[in-house]
Structure 1
Amino acid sequence: MTQMPGYPYSPLEGSDGIRLLTIEAVDPEEECAEIRCKIEKFRLESAPPYRALSYAWGHTNSKAIILDGSRVKIRENLWHALWNLRDRGFSVPNLTTRYHFTKGDTKWIWIDALCIDQRNTAERNHQVRLMGQIYKTAVEVVAWLGCLKEKSNNGRDFYDVYAWMIGLNKLAEETQLGDGDYYLAGTHLLPEFNPITVLQFFDRPYWRRMWIVQEIGLASDITILFDDLSANWKGLHRLRMLLSSPSLAPAPAFTARFQLLRTNEKVQGSQAFSLDRHRTSQQSNKLEDLIETCQDSICSDPRDKVYALLGLAVDCQNDELAVDYSKTLFQIYADVINFYHPSHSREGGPSQHTVRFSQMLQRSFDRPSELRDGADRYLLAPDSELSLSAINIFGICTSIISGLGQACNSATILLQLSKLPPHHIDARSRENMSRTIEDMRKVIPISSQTSFALQAQNATRFLVSINTSATPSSKQIKKSHSTQESQNCLPFVMDNGQTGYVPMNARIGDSICQFLGCDVAAVLRERPGGYDIVGRALVDKSVAELQGNAESWTKKYSYSVPDFGSTFTWTPEQAMYLYLDMATLQQLTA
């Protein structure tokens, strides 16, 4: 956010210093008057009761407010939130008066964009570390969904949403509907509603914002504001429980509409319901689970894909991961991997899960070029702040490359596709081809002298020490993804019949090593004392995976997952231990 040129922030005091804001009330006849606010500094431990605003930053369009006498610009969505709060009476008659509020009538508000000096990296780090405590301490979190008029000027839409919000409040207030009583349905509490309008409620940009995961998860009480309407979060929680109840038997008049909500993926898979699940199971909110749930959430800074979850993650409550916005994205990737890996390996042994987690983490960041550049810099000049010890990974050599085709790239595949008659290509084939073209950038040669593999049954301390004794020089390492060699790849077939793509440096006889629970594959080449990791491969799905009976957890993967199905086994000769430096792990799982 471009924040308030010239606003004179003074330093916060103490390790728990925060700022709180009040809004000046206006005469009803002057409702168009400018928004005027005041900021004061407090210690969190002795701060007055306050509310915390949860909202989406939204578009960069800006409007002006008066803050402590200075005209400053804020984003339009926040301006609308402040206007709405003022209109609802969350305001004070005079900004110069010192007020003593109770929890019930407090007019103090905490808002990240205004209460944090966003231009001061040290303060930003400090306040983000406090964020969990700030939202946990607030007497109420106000969730601002935005203005309905952004969606439509249709009066009917407003009526439908009004009826829906009233219904949520009735669900929240119903004293005879306990958490175990959803067989009572309670559908009589919800008025007739337009399902399309309700879907708009679940599709608001607010729900896709990264930071709300923590803000909602830690709040003691939540009020949802949607334009001029409000509802208590408890109504949304009860709606989720109602729709998931196997004994739901709504009145006939509601059956069709409720069935639509029960079967609609936008509702059942909505971030609103995911947030409520995290909120009601706080003791099981581990960082890895939160990252997986929030892969598609939106934030302007990809580092917040981790930092926005630390206050809620139960395994990050003792500064296991420090907030530091001066770090690069690759450094944060390495921090998270080094945090995750030890807890998923037994007594320093290999992990079966780190590869899958690394792939998921990179998908969440969604900045492949930034991570690749960081990996290159790490290889050329290892970062002293990162652990240089190899990450020990468990893999399976599923087959041997038995044949290689002619070199190809995305252009040649597109050319082949254009020559096929349209009736020979169904929608699914076209989608798969497009995905392959997009993913071919992952088929890269790897040239790291600090990564290697050993057969698990032969992995001794002596072999590990021999393989780790080499010290790479900058001349031995190249930027693999930027060379011409990596722009092309080779179609291949394995001796088990499966096909795919490997980098140009692959050879017949190389092994394909796959990793459990994901579609990552590596090309290994045997040498005296172990194996070199020579590239990343794509392995096409097996016949069973393509038949459409794949379990839900494999559907999100584009390529073959080796342990698909319950009959998968491997022999001791196939089991591999891979020792990967951070850059090689990043390249394999991009």
Structure 2
Amino acid sequence: MRDVYNLGNSKELASWFAEHITTPSANSRNIIESRASEKEALERIAAVNQLGDTMVMKTSYWQRVWVVQEVCLAQKVFFVYGPTLFIDEDAVLYAHQMSGIKLASGMNNMLKARQRRFSEVMRLETLIEEFAAQMCTDPQDKIYGLIGLANDINAVDNSRNATEGDEDEGDMATMQYSGSEDVDFIIDYRRSFYDIWCDVVQYLFRCPYYFVPAHLEEDEGELARLRHERLTNLIRFAGLVQNTLQDGVERELAQLAASSSASELGAQLRGPKLFGHHLVPARGYLAGEILDLGPSYAAFIGSFRHQTAWRTKWRKHYRKEHELGQLREMEDRYAAKILNYSEADVARVASIQGDSFVAFRTVDNGPLDDLTAARTTNKQKIMQDVLKTLSTLPSKSLTQNAPGGEARRFLGTDRCMGVAPPGAAIGDWVIRFFDCDAAVVVRPNDASDPNTPCMLVGRADVADILDRKGPHGYDKLGSLALQRGYSDDPDHKRFDLVMDWHTLQRITASITT
């Protein structure tokens, strides 16, 4: 650092820097002189820059989560590295475009965020999405470090948690729409990863952005789009937050399960209240119906014979060569992927016990659309109706008598394939979720009725037909039923789901987004 300092004219910068950051008066002459001085200084510094395109670009500084605040919240920023100084973000971007100076990805993301810091883009949801890969010592800071940037949330002193955090029926425990008020978020490092995860996920249903603004009351199409958007994003966002916390939620719950009884665990993991109940609404789509079950995961990865026999069975269900070609292409990628699964990856493909889950097909404005609409006043009644549907489902224990006690390869309609949880059976339905690889297997209460409510069998692992990040998007996500959500798609592939918080956590742990 001393060599770099002595190499250039950094010694001369101190006095100029102090003079420059003094805000000039409104006098146009002072502004012109200031800009001329700035240009002269930048030219002088550039002339002795000995670092070329390795300037600030290789350092890990830009990967730190707290630097996001430092860059985005400052009224004015200077970039100084050795003998080099850029007066603001525009100068950095100009140098990047005109001089070929390379920008680290973290630096570039921060500069873009700074340019949009006054817009609705600076919502907590968007910030987590943008900066989930930033580094910090404490995973909690990957959430807490972004709260100060979000324009739709307020940080609350953790002393408030000492008096209100344990209440069951108070405002902090019951999530209700709060009009145009901002969302309060408790900052408390004593809280568990699970509690922090619940707080961030339930924010989607408190945030004013997700409720219909008054001026849109007459636009029914826009109302339906907004309701659909917040419901389809729930599963992906819940998984993204778990990934942001670096699997801390999953590890914490594994330790808790080892030291607690089932009833104790259930009481600790019931989560906050949404609309008067400890349940969460979400939206997915029908990816396919299970046509065949193949070898167990263990047999598949351990025997080439089982792999060959599994591929041979496809001709029982698919005859067209172009469909078989797509299946072979999918299988080539998917088999290579699951062969490298860890024990934890395999363990996530599991049956999920519990009665607090129901899935049902919906078209146009269903009960969850009304539930999440700001103008709806009978939200608790809607949830009561959903609970009545839950009570009509058979006992969950009946679903565990299906053949096979291991996770098994499956093939479904619409070229849906993957690994099904223990207890899955032919005729079960596979439900997937927007822009992620999360999937569940459900069992219809009445297979002859396409609108019958469904119970949960467990979490599945599925193969993608297309690259979700590619130019052509997702296989089923391109359908009218998912893009519009409220369309008249004849296949009626849209599914609405209601589940408890722990089930949501298990479905979204370590998903790929």
- In the TM superposition, 1:218-229 aligns within 5 A as 218-224=73-79, 226=81, 229=83
- In the TM superposition, 1:531-550 aligns within 5 A as 531-542=454-465, 544-545=466-467, 550=470
Q: Deviations over 1:268-316 (max 9, x none)?
A: x611111111112112311111111111111122111111011111111
| CA–CA distance in structure 1, aligned partners of residues 96 and 36 of structure 2 | 13
Partner of 1:575 in structure 2?
494
Structure 1 or 2: more helix by fraction: 2
Partner of 2:486 in structure 1?
none
One of 21, 38, 44 as aligned partner of 1:173: 38
Change in Cα spacing, 1:441 to 1:571, as seen in structure 2 (3 Å) is farther
- In the TM superposition, 1:123-142 aligns within 5 A as none
Unaligned runs of 5+ in 2: 3-10, 24-34, 155-181, 213-222, 309-331, 368-381, 447-451, 484-488
| Paired letter, 2:437 | D
One of 510, 516, 524 as aligned partner of 2:428: 510
Is 2:244 aligned against 1:364? yes
Partner of 1:440 in structure 2?
346
Partner of 2:72 in structure 1?
217
Partner of 2:295 in structure 1?
406
Is 2:130 aligned against 1:293? yes
By relative contact order (CA 8 Å, sep 6+), the higher-ranking structure is 2
TM-score by length of 1: 0.53
Is 2:448 aligned against 1:530? no
Change in Cα spacing, 1:578 to 1:466, as seen in structure 2 (3 Å) is same
SS of the counterpart of 1:216? helix
SS of the counterpart of 1:538? strand
SS of the counterpart of 2:278? coil
Do 2:69 and 2:148's aligned partners in 1 also have CA atoms closer than 8 Å?
yes
Unaligned runs of 5+ in 1: 1-30, 32-86, 91-102, 106-137, 141-169, 178-185, 245-249, 421-426, 555-559
One of 559, 562, 565 as aligned partner of 2:476: 562
Is 2:59 aligned against 1:204? yes
| Paired letter, 2:423 | N
Partner of 2:92 in structure 1?
239
TM-score by length of 2: 0.61
- In the TM superposition, 1:228-377 aligns within 5 A as 229=83, 231-232=85-86, 234=88, 236-243=89-96, 258=100, 261=101, 267=103, 270-284=105-119, 285-317=122-154, 318=182, 320-343=184-207, 344=210, 351-367=231-247, 369-370=250-251, 372-373=253-254
Do 2:285 and 2:495's aligned partners in 1 also have CA atoms closer than 8 Å?
yes
| CA–CA distance in structure 2, aligned partners of residues 359 and 172 of structure 1 | 50
Change in Cα spacing, 1:452 to 1:319, as seen in structure 2 (3 Å) is closer
| Paired letter, 2:140 | R
Partner of 1:111 in structure 2?
none
SS of the counterpart of 2:477? coil
Do 2:482 and 2:494's aligned partners in 1 also have CA atoms closer than 8 Å?
no
Change in Cα spacing, 1:308 to 1:568, as seen in structure 2 (3 Å) is closer
1:401 to partner: Cα distance: 0.4
1:188 to partner: Cα distance: 11
1:448 to partner: Cα distance: 2.1
One of 449, 452, 468 as aligned partner of 2:355: 449
Do 1:396 and 1:514's aligned partners in 2 also have CA atoms closer than 8 Å?
yes
| CA–CA distance in structure 1, aligned partners of residues 241 and 453 of structure 2 | 29
Do 1:519 and 1:561's aligned partners in 2 also have CA atoms closer than 8 Å?
no
| CA–CA distance in structure 2, aligned partners of residues 192 and 382 of structure 1 | 59
| CA–CA distance in structure 2, aligned partners of residues 300 and 176 of structure 1 | 38
| CA–CA distance in structure 2, aligned partners of residues 195 and 89 of structure 1 | 19
Do 1:349 and 1:392's aligned partners in 2 also have CA atoms closer than 8 Å?
no
| CA–CA distance in structure 1, aligned partners of residues 237 and 36 of structure 2 | 39
| CA–CA distance in structure 1, aligned partners of residues 338 and 36 of structure 2 | 48
Do 1:404 and 1:492's aligned partners in 2 also have CA atoms closer than 8 Å?
yes
Change in Cα spacing, 1:196 to 1:139, as seen in structure 2 (3 Å) is closer
SS of the counterpart of 2:425? coil
Change in Cα spacing, 1:400 to 1:202, as seen in structure 2 (3 Å) is same
Do 2:349 and 2:420's aligned partners in 1 also have CA atoms closer than 8 Å?
yes
| CA–CA distance in structure 2, aligned partners of residues 394 and 429 of structure 1 | 25
| CA–CA distance in structure 1, aligned partners of residues 36 and 356 of structure 2 | 59
Q: Deviations over 1:473-507 (max 9, x none)?
A: 9x98xxx9xxxx99x42110002223111111211
1:323 to partner: Cα distance: 0.4
Change in Cα spacing, 1:210 to 1:303, as seen in structure 2 (3 Å) is same
SS of the counterpart of 2:289? strand
One of 363, 377, 381 as aligned partner of 2:267: 381
Do 1:171 and 1:238's aligned partners in 2 also have CA atoms closer than 8 Å?
no
| Paired letter, 1:446 | I
Change in Cα spacing, 1:452 to 1:305, as seen in structure 2 (3 Å) is same
| Paired letter, 2:254 | D
